[in-house]
A and B are shown apart, each in its own frame.
Chain A
């Protein structure tokens, strides 16, 4: 047979659009089955930290700050807590657990020997992390409702928003996972991106308190959009600019996933 000299694979091939199949459900299910084994400690782990902060700051600082934007401080804080804890749950899942599966346990490598492509695996990780953060979010929402910080049925509409928030931060986190040489690398992402964003996105105080120059940047952060949607829903009214906020979260999800997939292909398909 004559030898055909194919041109060298262009770098752009790694960034071709994803080719997905329904086999990704099997990968999602694998993660779900592992989670199910440790569901209770996992939920408690995702729940305890944000709830303690919410109650501690809400009741503690709440004594000093009687009302914020017309509601009690703790009711104000509830929506922010739900948003940032979703971000954290999704981020932790794709960074630490995702890196374990990709790099340490070689789980992805094993799956790729089956009729499942890397695209399916990365997409399954994205949806799984969003699912897990949503499960934790529902638990937090239940606590918030049990304490009476939300009473509106509109709060249920926050659940799909929580899922979208999970997708958005899972996609962003997957970029870091694709680039990480080791677990230590993730510290940069938390200290340089996640933590400042938590403080600037109106989780603990209204963004109006920020200096004017910072406000514009702060409003563009993905967590700000999540807070702008979740807080009003918990307080029982329809968010302003709902299309804009949903659109930005969706757009970040798509772009970040595309970039993360390209970087992961470059890393693993050599």
Chain B
């Protein structure tokens, strides 16, 4: 199994100041799958990855990476893992090709072995002909793609990506998604963290929603949606006033007056009411008679589950 985590706890500080960042996390990755860890900032995603790679010691729990115990044999296990970190850590003193060659050296791969593979690795990252380009001349998207190529120098069994597309433009994100799908098709197991729901929905065979150090939901994107939320969403926004209403206007006032009877559950966020229901037609028929209100009817998605489970308040 590429990665097996059970009962992982990570605690910082001690005594009264102790803070649990990961609180009893279990995770099993199947060979060849893409698994996404979803969670707001501070949910414990990066800490979980650092523990799994043996870069920090867990306070409790058991970890096996590529079949080897971590941290006991973390170094040996990492020889079979590729990592794309959240922050750019390319070597600015080297060209693109040198970055790959020097990094391969850290795995004990000799230059004569890696040099013939450099054009292929760069092509995979969409960086054909950039062998001698300097790192400073690359855009953010190119740097992230080169980091992806760098993570593949050792032909890893497991590829770990920490927010691989944060800060990238849509073109660059789509290219990375396409390459990651190609890797899983070839049998590489992928573990990624993200807070982009569309990324998880498109890429992940399975995912876990993580918050305050615990897994709140786990399964395939469809399973998670089916298990945790009503299938239909009607978003309601715009102007609304009822002659006999006690006061107030807009979607929130409408929701207070009618949503309870017409939907299963309704949440207000800003100017919009999100009505969750199994049976949308009566609600839509009612809304059609409210001229000031506008509606958007759609199937529930992962973001709805995520917001239901982790709440709508801001995280910093």
Residues of A within 8 A of B (CB): 1-6, 8-9, 13, 21, 23, 26-27, 29-30, 33-34, 37, 105-107, 109-117, 269-270
The contact sample of 27 A-B pairs, CB cut-off 8 A, is: A3-B9, A4-B7, A4-B60, A6-B60, A8-B14, A8-B59, A9-B59, A23-B106, A23-B108, A30-B102, A33-B94, A37-B93, A105-B89, A106-B85, A106-B87, A107-B91, A110-B89, A110-B103, A113-B55, A113-B78, A113-B81, A113-B83, A114-B78, A114-B106, A117-B75, A269-B57, A270-B56
Contacts of B56 in A (CB 8 A): 269-270
Contacts of B105 in A (CB 8 A): 26, 29-30
Contacts of A115 in B (CB 8 A): 75-76, 78-79, 106-108
Shortest A42–chain B CB gap in Å is 12
Q: Are A6 and B53 in contact (CB under 8 A)?
A: no
Contact mask B59-98 → A, CB, 8 Å, 1/0? 1111000000000000110110101010111111110001
Shortest B114–chain A CB gap in Å is 12
* B58 on interface, CB distance cutoff 8 Å: yes
In the assembly, what is the distance between CA of A182 and CA of B87, in Å?
Answer: 19
Shortest B159–chain A CB gap in Å is 11
6 further A-B pairs in the complex, CB-CB below 8 A; given A33-B102, A105-B89, A106-B89: A26-B108, A29-B105, A34-B94, A114-B78, A114-B106, A269-B55
Q: Are A113 and B85 in contact (CB under 8 A)?
A: yes
**Closest chain A residue, CB of each to CB of B76:** A115
Contacts of A30 in B (CB 8 A): 91, 102, 105
Contacts of B60 in A (CB 8 A): 3-6
Q: CB within 8 A of A109: which of B14, B85, B92, B151?
A: B85
In the assembly, what is the distance between CA of A105 and CA of B136, in Å?
Answer: 12
In the assembly, what is the distance between CA of A37 and CA of B62, in Å?
Answer: 45
Residues of B within 8 A of A (CB): 6-7, 9, 11-12, 14, 24, 53, 55-62, 75-76, 78-79, 81, 83, 85, 87-94, 98, 102-103, 105-108, 150-151, 154
In the assembly, what is the distance between CA of A112 and CA of B60, in Å?
Answer: 22
Contacts of B81 in A (CB 8 A): 113
Q: CB within 8 A of A6: which of B58, B108, B150?
A: B58
Closest 9 CB pairs of A and B: A114-B106, A3-B7, A106-B89, A110-B89, A113-B83, A115-B79, A34-B93, A26-B105, A1-B6
In the assembly, what is the distance between CA of A106 and CA of B147, in Å?
Answer: 13
Q: Are A1 and B62 in contact (CB under 8 A)?
A: yes
Contacts of B98 in A (CB 8 A): 33
Q: Are A105 and B92 in contact (CB under 8 A)?
A: yes
Contacts of A4 in B (CB 8 A): 7, 60-62
Shortest A105–chain B CB gap in Å is 6
In the assembly, what is the distance between CA of A6 and CA of B72, in Å?
Answer: 14
Shortest A165–chain B CB gap in Å is 26
Q: Are A21 and B75 in contact (CB under 8 A)?
A: yes
Q: Are A114 and B91 in contact (CB under 8 A)?
A: no
Contacts of B91 in A (CB 8 A): 30, 34, 105, 107, 110
Q: Are A27 and B24 in contact (CB under 8 A)?
A: no
Shortest A264–chain B CB gap in Å is 13
Q: Are B85 and A110 in contact (CB under 8 A)?
A: yes
**Closest chain A residue, CB of each to CB of B7:** A3
**Closest chain B residue, CB of each to CB of A6:** B60
In the assembly, what is the distance between CA of A29 and CA of B85, in Å?
Answer: 23
In the assembly, what is the distance between CA of A27 and CA of B106, in Å?
Answer: 7
In the assembly, what is the distance between CA of A56 and CA of B87, in Å?
Answer: 48
- A1-B7, A6-B60 known; A116 and B106 CB under 8 Å? yes
In the assembly, what is the distance between CA of A117 and CA of B62, in Å?
Answer: 20
In the assembly, what is the distance between CA of A3 and CA of B79, in Å?
Answer: 28
**Closest chain B residue, CB of each to CB of A114:** B106
**Closest chain B residue, CB of each to CB of A111:** B106
Shortest A156–chain B CB gap in Å is 32
Contacts of B89 in A (CB 8 A): 105-107, 109-110
In the assembly, what is the distance between CA of A8 and CA of B106, in Å?
Answer: 31
In the assembly, what is the distance between CA of A21 and CA of B73, in Å?
Answer: 13
**Closest chain B residue, CB of each to CB of A115:** B79
In the assembly, what is the distance between CA of A33 and CA of B102, in Å?
Answer: 9
Q: Which of A9, A29, A113, A269 has the most CB of B within 10 A?
A: A113
Shortest B100–chain A CB gap in Å is 12
Contacts of A2 in B (CB 8 A): 7
Contacts of B59 in A (CB 8 A): 6, 8-9
Q: Which of A4, A8, A37, A107 has the most CB of B within 10 A?
A: A8
In the assembly, what is the distance between CA of A114 and CA of B12, in Å?
Answer: 25
Contacts of A116 in B (CB 8 A): 75, 106
In the assembly, what is the distance between CA of A263 and CA of B84, in Å?
Answer: 26
Shortest B64–chain A CB gap in Å is 11
In the assembly, what is the distance between CA of A33 and CA of B103, in Å?
Answer: 12
Q: Are B78 and A9 in contact (CB under 8 A)?
A: no
In the assembly, what is the distance between CA of A1 and CA of B102, in Å?
Answer: 41
In the assembly, what is the distance between CA of A113 and CA of B84, in Å?
Answer: 9
Q: Are B103 and A114 in contact (CB under 8 A)?
A: yes
In the assembly, what is the distance between CA of A269 and CA of B85, in Å?
Answer: 15
Shortest B10–chain A CB gap in Å is 10
Contacts of B154 in A (CB 8 A): 114
Shortest B236–chain A CB gap in Å is 45
Contacts of B93 in A (CB 8 A): 34, 37
Q: CB within 8 A of B57: which of A9, A106, A107, A113?
A: A9
